[in-house]
Every structure is written in structure tokens, then in C-alpha cells.
């Protein structure tokens, strides 16, 4: 007997929708219920599939381990998201297996009827996917595949249904890659970092739908798109930092221009103007977020302002610059 509870452990990692077990009961063409020997045979088939999945699991865990060795957590998060989706799928599988065990128990007592057990055909699967029409997305197709995975089919439908599922899995991979490329492109072109972050977060959800298999080509492609996704996340952070420093430069330049305009004035009435202009331009700038060259110019602007006011007002300038009422901007604002 397969230890089904083990399948719910976190180490069981498979791609969403793709590698949930295909449940097939061996019903005869005349609609009669399966015999005990047929049900035992079905259990053996599930055991064989469990062995095959264990082999796949080793490769998927290796993929997860590789992603965790880097500083970027996006691939690991996506794989852990797949775990959650798979656990949900396994819960549905367990319910079906309970029905099978009930049938096996009833068949030994001469009663193997189960009015709740419904048989499905390949035509049902085609109809379900076709209903998506031109609105097919990776999420919707994955949802359809998850539904089909929970179906029970007769022996005469097993091969055709499996072939159809393989075709849809290939289509799902293609959809995931396309949608990832679009989301990554939108993230890099986003006007603000917050919008870029939203696109990247959505891409993480789509990446989790990529069906993993034990085929080396699939594993290689999964590594490639996971690495690309992590690179986009790093690039978004870099762009935010660049935008922040570009904005800070305009604030620094404004301060220097104002200070220079009053540098030759000996009127004490000009001192408050210098303080106000400096606080207005540089108050929202966080010096801890500046690139080295920009930080040097920031310090230069502050020193220029201090040199243009009296000693007492230099203290006033310092107090105004660190006023907690001023909200300093961060990378998230860009």
C-alpha cells in the first residue's frame, strides 16, 4: 500500500497541474463496476506512478536547491508556490483514492456500486479547454488541467486522455514563457518602481505554473526562465536606485543654485531664505540611499548652505534637515 500521507510532505515538489496523478479506473464498456482484481491492479499502477514521481522529485529538489544558493529568492518563492498548489491537488487526489478504497472494500462484500463516482471522456476534457476560447491564459489553462487531473476515466479513454493532457501541458509551458516575457518587458518599461514591482510579482505567480518534468530539456528551460526572472528583479531594483539618484541630483543642483545666488549678499535677512531653500530641496533626500558621487555633491551643497549663514543659523539648518515631520523619499517612490 502506498503511504499517501507522505505525498503531503513539503518535500513533494511538482509543477502546478502538470504532474498530478492521472486517475483511471478500469471500467468495462458495458458500464459495470470494476472487479477486485481490477481495483488491485489500479493500486499497483498508482504505486508505479509514485515511484516515477519520486525520481522527478529529486530533480525538482535540485532545481530548488540551485535557486536557494543565489541571493535572489524569486525562483525559490515560485517553486514553494508550486508546493502549495500541489498540496491542494493532492488533497483532491486523496479524496478520489478514498472512493477507490471504498469500492475495493465493497467489492469484497459483493457490493461495488458508487453512485457518486462519475466517468469522464477525452471529449469532456476537450470541451472544458475549448470553453476558454480566445481567452486562454496560463492560469486558466492550468486550472483546467487541474480539473481534468481529478477525473476518472474508463480504460478505453485512458490513452486518448493522456495524449490530450500532454498536448495541453506543452501549450501551458508555451503560455507561461510568453506571459513571463510580456510581464518582464512591462516591468522594465514601467514608469515607477511600484508598477514594476506589481508586474514582477505577477510574473512570479505565472512562473509557478510552469510544469516541471524529469526531462532534462524541461529542467534546463525551467532554470533559464527562473534565472531570467531573478535577473529582472535585480534590474528593477537597480532602475529604482538610478531614478532616485537622478532625482536627488536635481534637488542638489537646485540647492547649489539658490545658495550661489545669495552667496555675495551680506544681508542677514537672506539667511532664512537659504535655510528654507535648502530644507525644501534636500529635506526629502535620504543621504543613505545615494551613490558615492551623488553623496559627495549632497554634502557639498549642505556645506555651501552652512557657509552662507551664521553659526547660530547653521544649528537651525541642521535641526530643520532632520525634522521627523519631513518624509524622506525612498526607492519605493521611484
Q: Which residue has the cell 481534468?
A: 148
Cα gap 295→223, rounded to integer Å: 38
Which residues have C-beta within 8 Å of that of residue 326, sequence separation ≥ 6?
279, 283, 284
Residue 177 lies inside a defined structural domain of this protein: no
Residue 325 lies inside a defined structural domain of this protein: yes
Residue 263 lies inside a defined structural domain of this protein: yes
pTM over 0.85? The answer is no
Share of residues in the chain with pLDDT > 90 (%): 49
Residue 57 lies inside a defined structural domain of this protein: yes
> Of the candidates 125, 153, 172, which is a domain's last residue?
172
Its domain, for residue 14, covers: 4-172
> Of the candidates 119, 144, 172, which is a domain's last residue?
172
Average pLDDT of the residues in 64-80: 62
- 153 sits in which H/E element: strand 152-153
Higher pLDDT, 148 or 268: 148
Residue 147 lies inside a defined structural domain of this protein: yes
Higher pLDDT, 250 or 262: 250
Which residues make beta-bridge pairs with 152? 119
Residue 115 lies inside a defined structural domain of this protein: yes
Phi, psi of 158 (to 5 degrees): -60, -55
> Of the candidates 172, 193, 224, which is a domain's last residue?
172
- Measured over the CA atoms of residue 70, residue 74, residue 79 and residue 83, the dihedral's sign is positive
Cα gap 223→210, rounded to integer Å: 11
At 100-152, the pLDDT tens digits run 677 767 665 554 445 456 788 999 999 999 999 888 899 999 999 999 988 88
SS (H, E, C) 31-76: CCCCCHHHHHHHHHHHHHHHHHHHHHHHHHHHHHHHHHCCCCCHHH
- 274 sits in which H/E element: helix 271-282
Q: Residue 149 CB: number of other CB atoms within 10 A?
A: 19
Among candidate residues 179, 178, 196, the one with its CA nearest the CA of residue 187: 196
On average, the pLDDT of the chain sits at 78
| Same domain, yes or no: 135 and 265 | no
Residue 188 lies inside a defined structural domain of this protein: no
Among candidate residues 133, 154, 155, the one with its CA nearest the CA of residue 144: 133
Q: Residue 251 CB: number of other CB atoms within 10 A?
A: 19
Residue 317 lies inside a defined structural domain of this protein: yes
pLDDT at 302: 95
| Same domain, yes or no: 160 and 11 | yes
At 274-328, the pLDDT tens digits run 899 999 999 999 999 999 999 999 999 999 999 888 888 899 999 999 999 999 9
| Same domain, yes or no: 41 and 120 | yes
| Same domain, yes or no: 30 and 122 | yes
Look at the chain and report how many structural domains it folds into: 2
| Same domain, yes or no: 158 and 40 | yes
Amino acid at each position: 500500500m502506498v503511504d499517501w500521507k507522505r505525498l503531503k510532505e513539503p518535500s513533494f515538489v511538482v509543477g502546478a497541474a502538470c504532474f498530478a496523478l492521472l486517475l483511471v479506473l478500469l471500467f468495462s464498456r458495458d458500464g459495470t463496476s470494476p472487479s477486485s482484481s481490477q481495483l488491485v491492479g489500479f493500486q499497483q499502477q498508482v504505486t508505479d506512478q509514485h515511484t516515477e514521481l519520486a525520481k522527478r522529485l529529486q530533480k525538482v529538489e535540485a532545481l530548488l536547491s540551485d535557486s536557494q544558493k543565489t541571493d535572489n529568492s524569486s525562483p525559490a518563492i515560485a517553486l514553494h508556490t508550486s508546493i502549495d498548489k500541489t498540496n491542494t491537488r493532492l488533497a483532491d487526489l486523496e479524496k478520489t483514492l478514498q472512493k477507490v478504497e471504498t469500492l475495493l472494500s465493497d467489492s469484497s462484500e459483493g457490493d461495488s456500486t458508487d453512485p457518486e463516482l462519475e466517468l469522464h471522456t477525452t471529449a469532456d476534457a476537450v470541451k472544458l479547454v475549448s470553453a476558454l476560447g480566445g481567452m486562454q491564459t496560463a492560469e486558466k489553462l492550468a486550472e483546467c488541467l487541474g480539473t481534468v487531473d481529478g477525473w476518472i476515466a474508463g480504460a478505453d479513454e485512458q490513452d486518448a486522455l493522456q495524449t490530450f493532457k500532454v498536448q495541453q501541458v506543452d501549450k501551458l509551458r508555451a503560455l507561461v514563457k510568453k506571459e513571463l516575457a510580456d510581464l518582464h518587458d512591462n516591468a522594465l518599461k514601467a514608469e515607477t518602481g511600484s508598477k514594476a514591482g506589481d508586474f514582477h510579482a505577477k510574473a512570479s505567480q505565472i512562473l509557478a505554473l510552469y510544469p516541471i518534468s524529469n526531462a532534462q530539456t524541461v529542467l534546463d528551460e525551467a532554470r533559464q526562465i527562473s534565472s531570467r526572472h531573478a535577473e529582472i528583479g535585480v534590474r528593477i531594483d537597480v532602475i529604482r536606485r538610478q531614478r532616485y539618484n537622478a532625482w536627488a541630483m536635481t534637488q542638489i543642483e537646485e540647492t547649489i543654485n539658490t545658495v550661489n545666488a545669495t552667496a555675495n549678499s551680506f544681508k542677514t535677512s537672506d539667511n532664512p531664505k537659504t535655510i528654507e531653500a535648502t530644507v525644501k530641496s534636500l529635506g526629502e533626500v535620504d543621504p543613505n540611499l545615494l551613490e558615492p558621487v551623488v553623496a559627495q555633491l549632497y554634502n557639498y551643497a549642505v556645506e555651501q548652505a552652512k557657509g552662507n549663514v551664521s553659526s547660530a543659523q547653521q544649528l537651525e539648518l541642521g535641526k530643520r534637515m532632520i525634522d521627523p515631520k519631513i518624509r524622506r523619499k525612498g526607492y519605493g517612490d521611484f
